[in-house]
Structure 1
Amino acid sequence: MATTSRFGCPLDNPDLMIASLPAVLGFVPEKSLVLVTAADGEMGAVLRIDLPDGDTGPLFELAEVAAVAEPEVAVAIIVDGEGAGCRMCAEDYREWTQLLTEELAERHVELIAAHVVDVVDAGGRWYCADGCGRSGRVADPTASPLALAAVLDGRRLYARRADLVAVVTPTEPERAAGLARLLDKADGVERCDIGSRIEFALASAAQIAAGSALSDDDLVRLGTSLDHPQVRDTLYALAVGDGAGPAESLWADLSRRLPVPWRAEALVLLAFSAYARGDGPLAGIALDAALSCEPGHNMAGMLDQALRSGIRPEEIRDLARTGYRIAAELGIPLPPRRLFGRRAG
């Protein structure tokens, strides 16, 4: 019996499964090893690493992370345009596949197939990594059910992983250094000022959405605001409200402009917003950056573990209730909660 994702993509149909990868990952993978897991007839985690370069350690870690959500089966996809037809590369593919098979089996996960593809695009050529003889052509990624679902969810798909990483990459290091000095000298948030700080964040989100840049004074005020637990906890609620788009644009802007460690809070707000609307790729990129800034960040660590464990967005959204409660206690109106629909499948 074919194992099928909840979007109707059979895992034993490599043409369609490989075509679905850009919509799942948020970008077109290159020089990558992708592991797709499934359980109870539904697609689970989709994990990507760079192709091993003489070090098989990442493969052990990949198997360990994949097993966290206790999937039943997995499929490996090796994306390597340069290795197509390379006899030495084929030996590497078989070695990686065998290692993954053994490591996953120890964790009660069966690797049911491994494929090599030159390019994840319409007409790309795939074949079995173990030399079974099966081969075929990749379907059009833009026409996959997952791509359609991503568009309906308002997700942007990137041509390369580097383009997705650029969403949170600092753009003005010299300005950030100056902001760090200003933030060090800035006063903290007084209790009587919490409400006005939240309102200022809402106004700043509208300003960014309108295409107006934030001044240094604005950035310092926002940086100190995000450092305050009650302000920050309230702002998490924006991820599930009608103003989620402008708020997410603000968090992305702050994550590129604020210096360490202040940018960590903006990154976690961005990650939570992306996770809440089902954009796992952006959430993962933001969480990686946040944990690099502040390895012990509690919220970042919790969201990262949830994402790796396959916790669904609807379960994460419940965390926003605290923000609405705090806002109600302060008498601050927040945008009404969105109604998140269910995808057909």
Structure 2
Amino acid sequence: MTTHQPDHRFTRPGALIAALPAVLGFVPEKSLVLVSLEDREMGAVMRVDLPKVMDGNLTHLADVAAASGADTVVAVIIDADGASCPMCNQDYRDMCDELNAALADHDMTVYATHVVDRIEAGGRWHCVDGCGRFGAVEDPMASPLAAAAVLEGRRLYPRRSDLQAVVAVADAGRAASLVPAITAHAQARETDWRADPDGCGRRDVEAAMAIAARVSDGADLEDAELAMLACALTDVSVRDTLYALAVGAVAGNAEALWTVLARTLPDPWRTEALVLLAFSAYTRGDGPLAGLSLEAALRSDPEHRMASMLDTALQSGMRPEQIRELAGAGYRLAKRLGVRLPPRRTFGRRAV
């Protein structure tokens, strides 16, 4: 699920459907998308693979939708094959009946259900209940939400798999080869940490910020630097301090570093990089990247507390401004360690 500032009205289904790629971060295919209505405007958006819900099991989706706090949703079925198949409408209606029943348990209703063949300019949609309404999908790249995404520096991907590749390990062989270096550095760091925990943490935070600036400029990291960072992120004080960078003036540098580490480090060390990346993406409103980063982190460590907490927050539609408050703990830890973090940056409302 992802969240978005309520800035798009629901008077034109073709416009609503065209807005989905900008909200999800990719062009959905073979999907059921639920868009919650908050004062007749776009609230939380949830997507699930269509085959998973055509066989039933809509209870969990209804639970997630209810957690958004909305009482009404619009359902969009994306299916290139089924959209042109009149007989498939009955399957869609049966699914929607089950969805309505599941949502009714939460005092929620489905405002409308649209079936669309493809989300691109000229794609065709129609209502699933035989109301007779149909039309063309507007140009997704001309959507106000797409413009807002571009202004925020977010990239829109053709497919979900393209977005998943952003957080996938780039070279499994190199990742595996880092294990001996990480293990050796961990042993040496343990000695330093026992002698001076705060000093060790301070050096690691300062080193991480310096390396982040270099990565942002396009520098490649040596194995020794990767090993140092992998070990540093296992130190709770260091890791929790680094969360604060997500709301600071050099948040982009930090996110670039977390992305490199998520794609380079082996498990279990990459988990912390994935969660840092998720937190950074979440605080700037990039729910799709945050969600996929958390999904990868929880595959590696299902019990990870921060990943689980952020995933629950994302699933329930918690706003980025609420998540940013967690960065305050990082600033307090930095003060204890004697580290000067970049000043906080100002977050404004999204463009509409």
TM-score bin (small chain): over 0.9
Residue 307 of structure 2 is aligned with which of 285, 296, 300? 300
Q: Which runs of 4+ in 1 moved over 4 A?
A: none
Q: Deviations over 1:152-204 (max 9, x none)?
A: 22211111111110110011111111222332343245112111101111111
Q: Could you tell me how far apart the structure 1 residues matched to 2:93 and 2:176 are? A: 48
Matched residue, 2:15: 16
Residue pair 2:71, 2:107 contacting (<8 A) in 1 also:
yes
Q: Could you tell me how far apart the structure 2 residues matched to 1:332 and 1:107 are? A: 48
Which amino acid is the alignment partner of residue 27 of structure 2?
V
Q: Could you tell me how far apart the structure 2 residues matched to 1:344 and 1:291 are? A: 32
Q: Could you tell me how far apart the structure 2 residues matched to 1:324 and 1:272 are? A: 15
Q: Could you tell me how far apart the structure 2 residues matched to 1:318 and 1:24 are? A: 23
Matched residue, 2:6: 6
Matched residue, 2:223: 216
Which amino acid is the alignment partner of residue 154 of structure 2?
R
Residue pair 1:49, 1:58 contacting (<8 A) in 2 also:
no
Residue 325 of structure 1 is aligned with which of 309, 329, 332? 332
Residue pair 2:9, 2:40 contacting (<8 A) in 1 also:
no
Matches for 1:276-287 after TM superposition, within 5 Å? 276-287=283-294
Matched residue, 2:246: 239
Matched residue, 1:172: 171
Residue pair 2:79, 2:116 contacting (<8 A) in 1 also:
yes
Counterpart secondary structure, 1:52:
helix
Q: Percent identity?
A: 56
Q: Could you tell me how far apart the structure 2 residues matched to 1:344 and 1:41 are? A: 18
Residue 205 of structure 2 is aligned with which of 190, 198, 215? 198
Residue pair 2:73, 2:111 contacting (<8 A) in 1 also:
yes
Residue pair 2:56, 2:98 contacting (<8 A) in 1 also:
no
Q: 1:55 to 1:137 in 2, by over 3 A?
A: closer
Unaligned runs of 5+ in 1: none
Q: Shift of residue 58 of structure 1?
A: 4.5
Residue pair 1:74, 1:112 contacting (<8 A) in 2 also:
yes
Counterpart secondary structure, 2:37:
strand
Matched residue, 2:114: 115
Matches for 1:1-345 after TM superposition, within 5 Å? 6-7=6-7, 9-52=8-51, 56-185=55-184, 186-187=186-187, 188=189, 190=193, 191=197, 192-343=199-350
What's the Cα RMSD here?
1.6
Which amino acid is the alignment partner of residue 6 of structure 1?
P
Which amino acid is the alignment partner of residue 105 of structure 2?
E
Q: Could you tell me how far apart the structure 1 residues matched to 2:263 and 2:123 are? A: 35
Counterpart secondary structure, 1:335:
coil
TM-score when normalising by structure 2: 0.92
| Greater RCO structure (CA 8 Å; 6+ sep) | 2
Q: Shift of residue 249 of structure 1?
A: 0.9
The answer to which of 16-25 and 148-157 deviates more is 148-157
What is the total number of aligned residue pairs between the two structures?
340
Q: Shift of residue 344 of structure 1?
A: 5.5
Which amino acid is the alignment partner of residue 327 of structure 2?
A
Unaligned runs of 5+ in 2: none
Which amino acid is the alignment partner of residue 158 of structure 2?
A
Q: Shift of residue 100 of structure 1?
A: 0.8
Residue pair 1:236, 1:269 contacting (<8 A) in 2 also:
yes
Q: Could you tell me how far apart the structure 2 residues matched to 1:338 and 1:196 are? A: 24
